Structure 1
Amino acid sequence: MTLNPLQKRRIAAFRSNRRAFWSLWIFLTLFVLSLFAELIANDKPLVVSFRGEISFPVFAGTYEESDFGGDPGLNVDFKDQAIQCLIRTGGIEDCYYEPEEILAEAESGTVAGAPIEAGWIVWPPIPYSFDTVNDDVFRAPSPPDANHWLGTDDTTRDVLARVIYGVRTSLLFAIATVGISSVIGIAAGAIQGYFGGWTDLLFQRFIEIWGGTPFLYVIIIAAAIFTMNFWLLVGLMSLFSWTALVGVVRAEFLRARNFEYVRAARALGVSDRVIMFRHILPNAMVATVTLMPFLITSSISGLATLDYLGFGLPSNYPSLGELTLQAKENLHASWLGFTAFFTFAILLSLLVFVFEGVRDAFDPRKVLA
């Protein structure tokens, strides 16, 4: 793909903004890592070798203990020391009775003088998923230690694992919400501004009525009627956030519809759709991009607020808002409050810095200067 001179100038302008440039790389790194959260934080091993056969439990469904020489009909808990003993010793039945002693003896490659077909397990860096309850923790919430780098919450779940999965959920939610809202808002603003007249007037009255609808009440009613899920919440948020873009897009189209190049295109018989989205919309993108960071950050904050109030995603979803609620309810557990604060502060700051650079790159007064 060949870039035109204007696109090259915009990229150069963005790269010259060091804060935005490095914020983008940091944000992309965090986002990509969160997309592979199952490989970073999981209570299932990445790779298991048993009797010479390699398996990947992190990608597979459930295993039975009989798959590793144990009792049939029981699902495998890879955290169970007896299961780890079965895997490492090739399926010795005594692992159910004396797993610690057998594992210690298996280090030499034999058990009771007989050679064993030793297996091995490769765990993720964080051997806990977002919903893993650690029964070995005697105090909940527990402070950070070697096993739980950011401590545990009040149900002994690993905080760092929940943050990693929660960041992914929040970012995907924000991207989906802003994507849908942008399509609706830009199309509505373009139609209003381009055609004007009664179309503009009727649209404006509708937006005024729609904008006065109490969003939180609608969410509460929907949560009482339906079982809330990710896409339902995305749809509800998009229904009330698209209006934020209408005003700026409408103003740009109202200003540009009487420009000479638009009149010339009409005289040449170019369709209204082509004029709107090929000729006028690119000039309206500066104002649109300026609002993007506010939409994304408000989507992340809105999801956290709904989860905090109990009207957001179901409890089986990893949630930064739920972590904030736990911090409020466990004031003595300072690590929960610090984790919630720094997670939001870092994430939202990176997004704002990135979009500040994008806004400046699209600003013709700075790009063409």
Structure 2
Amino acid sequence: MLNLSPVARRRFERFKKNRRGWWSLWLFIGLFLLTLGGELIANDKPLVLSYKNTLYFPVFKRYTEQQFGGQLPFQADYRSDYVQKLIKQDGGWMLFPPIPFSDDTPNYELTRPAPSPPSSVNWLGTDDQARDVLARVIFGARVSILFALALTAISAAIGIAAGALQGFYGGWVDLLGQRILEVWSGLPVLYLLIILSGFVEPNFWWLLGIMALFSWLALVDVVRAEFLRGRNLEYVKAARALGLGDGKIIRRHILPNAMTATLSYLPFILTGAISTLSALDFLGFGMPAGSASLGELIAQGK
């Protein structure tokens, strides 16, 4: 088990007793791990194939058609009848994932026009471009969760640093910081993203950078209040009397006690990031066209 302090251990045990929160955490972790291994679940390339008594792993490595006796020096299309015949003619075989489609793989063998309803081949049906919906849900969820986790980490780092400086030093530092926050928080984030998307083609990192400029604002007031309270406590005064520097007092004495209130806000930043990204994708101002996203799927299902 992790080498936790007695206080942290008690808090962890208290959290475990909250069955709804504890199992929700494991459900989220399970779904996140499932999406991280999306290529092993939904892919138009085999997990493993045997050709002339040699094993190949197309999921992890790129192979050309020539390596299987074909004519083209390009990546093999394992779903084509020609490539499958080349591989299987000498007793070879291929093992595909449970969903033999990637997020951008169209199904050319549909019996009705796209979007098509669920079937034994496409478990949740296809979208308007004949792409498998379940595969796009898996990859879209991965993008959303990774985006939200990255944004939460960046927001926590900036928000904690800004709130700690304001609360610990107070005075003109706090006054100047509050005025900057008032101006910064008054900017319409969603409208700003929509306006900027008219000049720059949005992508994962561009959206992450823009949203990181604003998402940390919610944490500052919480951290600032904890530091304003904590800087006047006796153990902080004792640390100052012993000659400890401001950095050590902030990191070792005030910040650990301020993290309880801070951590309670992080899930809201995470869910807000997923909702904002989905809203931008829904409106057509989010990820590049063709990218798997939850908002784009919602837009098609409306």
TM-score range, shorter chain: over 0.9
What amino acid does structure 2 have at the position aligned with 1:125? P
- Give the corresponding residue for 2:218: 244
Q: In 1, distance between residues paired with 2:74 and 2:216?
A: 50
- Give the corresponding residue for 1:38: 39
- Contact 2:35-2:142 at 8 Å conserved across structures: yes
Normalised by the length of structure 1, the TM-score is: 0.79
Please list every run of 5 or more consecutive structure 2 residues that lacks an aligned counterpart in the other structure. none
Q: How does 1:81-92 map to 2 (within 5 A)?
A: 81-90=81-90
- Give the corresponding residue for 2:12: 11
Matched, 1:128 2:129: no
Deviations 1:109-130 (A, max 9, x none): xxxxxxxxx0000101110000
What amino acid does structure 1 have at the position aligned with 2:107? N
2:161 to 187, 208, 211: 187
Q: How does 1:297-312 map to 2 (within 5 A)?
A: 297-312=271-286
- Give the corresponding residue for 1:362: none
Q: How does 1:65-214 map to 2 (within 5 A)?
A: 66-73=66-73, 75-90=75-90, 118-137=91-110, 138-214=112-188
What amino acid does structure 2 have at the position aligned with 1:244? A
Q: How many Å apart are 1:20 and its aligned residue?
A: 1.5
2:261 to 283, 287, 296: 287
- Give the corresponding residue for 1:224: 198
What amino acid does structure 2 have at the position aligned with 1:7? A
Ranked by relative contact order (alpha carbons within 8 Å, sequence separation 6 or more), the top structure is 1
- Give the corresponding residue for 1:109: none
Question: Between Structure 1 and Structure 2, which shows a larger proportion of helix residues?
Answer: 1
- Contact 2:140-2:293 at 8 Å conserved across structures: yes
Structure 1 stretch displaced more, 297-306 or 281-290: 281-290
Q: In 2, distance between residues paired with 1:72 and 1:201?
A: 68
What amino acid does structure 1 have at the position aligned with 2:87? I
Q: In 2, distance between residues paired with 1:34 and 1:196?
A: 44
Q: How does 1:45-56 map to 2 (within 5 A)?
A: 45-56=46-57
- Give the corresponding residue for 1:258: 232
What amino acid does structure 1 have at the position aligned with 2:222? V
Q: How many Å apart are 1:318 and its aligned residue?
A: 1.0
Q: How many Å apart are 1:75 and its aligned residue?
A: 4.1
Secondary structure at the aligned position of 2:117 is classed as: coil
Deviations 1:18-41 (A, max 9, x none): 112221222111111110101110
Q: How does 1:268-279 map to 2 (within 5 A)?
A: 268-279=242-253
Secondary structure at the aligned position of 1:240 is classed as: coil
Q: In 2, distance between residues paired with 1:180 and 1:75?
A: 38
What amino acid does structure 2 have at the position aligned with 1:71? Q
Instruction: Please report the RMSD computed on the Cα atoms of aligned residues, expressed in angstroms.
Output: 1.4
